[in-house]
Amino acid sequence: MTEIARAEQPETAGQPAAVGQPPAGESKPARVVPGQPDMWVLVLFEALAFTAYLGVYLYHRAADNASFLQSQAQLSPWLGTIDTLLLLTSSLFMLRCVQASRAGQVRAAMVNVVVTGLLGVAFLGCKVTEWVRLARAGHGFTSNEFFTYYFFLTGIHFLHLLIGFVTIGVLVYQLRRRERRSQEIVETCAVYWHTVDLLWVLIFSLLYVVR
């Protein structure tokens, strides 16, 4: 099969074979990573960008630890823990969605991805509640250095999660029609969702937990 001929076959859509099954007569090489390898470029870059953001936060925190600790005490560890549990649970359901999709159980995959999305919505609700609570207590984006980092990091993560809902939409679109279903796209969307989850765990650890 030439490169061009391979390219003319839709990479992501139009695979009529059962989910997770290679087309008849073609032995697909084992994939090294789940989903499109290209998505891992985004994972790497986002991890590096957040490492930079968090590194800058830690550097400034070390310079003024007492003030940061005082502001950190205004955060609700319970809300942060609930946020984390919601996202970790959503990742679990995303994992179950991928497994169901691999097994060709489309209905189960759809149920799991819908639950994932609902948990994501619950996270957003929880996060907005926390922002409103802090704002009412007089802690805003410009209040002090800690809250600047807090609102910046949780805000940029919020944006990542909103993009995550787009990937869930793509995933549902993929699962709904057999002829366009692609396990690779399903896994690519899942990789993005897990990345958002991972970034939150880092933010939660450094903003809420580390003293």
Partner 1 sequence: MTGASMTGADTTSDGMTGPPAGSPLSRFAWHCRNNPKRELWFAWYATVIFYIIFFVVFFPVTKAEPPPHPWWSDAQVAAWFQQNHHGLLIGFGIIFAVAGMTAPQNALIAYSMRRMSVSRAFAYSYLVMYSLSAVPGLLLLCVVLSVGAMQTGLDPAATHWLFDFAFLSYIGTMGVFLVGSLVWMLAILLDKNRVMPKWFGYLNLCNALTEVVVAPAWIFHTGVLAWNGLISWWVNMVVFGIYTGAFITLLRNLIRREDFGDGPLPDLPSKAAGGNAPHGNTPHGNTGAASLAGTAP
- 61-69's contacts with Cβ under 8 Å and 24+ in sequence apart are 61/146, 64/145, 67/144, 67/145, 67/146, 68/145, 68/146, 69/211
Six token digits for residue 199: 């970034």
The length of the chain is 211
- Quote the least distance from Cβ 46 to partner 1, whole Å: 6
Among 21, 31, 41, 209, interactor with partner 1 by CB under 8 A: 41
How far is it, in rounded angstroms, from Cα 116 to Cα 99? 14
Which residue number, 56 or 118, has a Cβ lying nearer to partner 1? 56
The window from 17-25, 84-92, 123-131, 156-164 that contacts partner 1 (CB under 8 A) reads: 156-164
How far is it, in rounded angstroms, from Cα 46 to Cα 18? 33
Verify binding: residue 5, partner 1, rule CB under 8 A.
yes
Verify binding: residue 8, partner 1, rule CB under 8 A.
yes
Verify binding: residue 179, partner 1, rule CB under 8 A.
no
Verify binding: residue 42, partner 1, rule CB under 8 A.
yes
Closest by alpha carbon to 112, among 189, 178, 42? 189
Verify binding: residue 3, partner 1, rule CB under 8 A.
yes
- Phi and psi at 16, nearest 5°, equal -70, -15
- Quote the least distance from Cβ 20 to partner 1, whole Å: 20
Closest by alpha carbon to 114, among 66, 72, 175? 175
Q: Give the type of residue at 59.
A: Y
Which residue number, 22 or 37, has a Cβ lying nearer to partner 1? 37
Binding flags for partner 1, 56-75, as an x/- string (CB under 8 A):
x---x---------------
Which residue number, 51 or 205, has a Cβ lying nearer to partner 1? 51
Q: Which residues bind partner 1 (CB under 8 A)?
A: 1-5, 7-8, 10-11, 36-39, 41-42, 45-46, 49, 52-53, 56, 60, 141-142, 145, 148, 152, 156, 159-160, 163
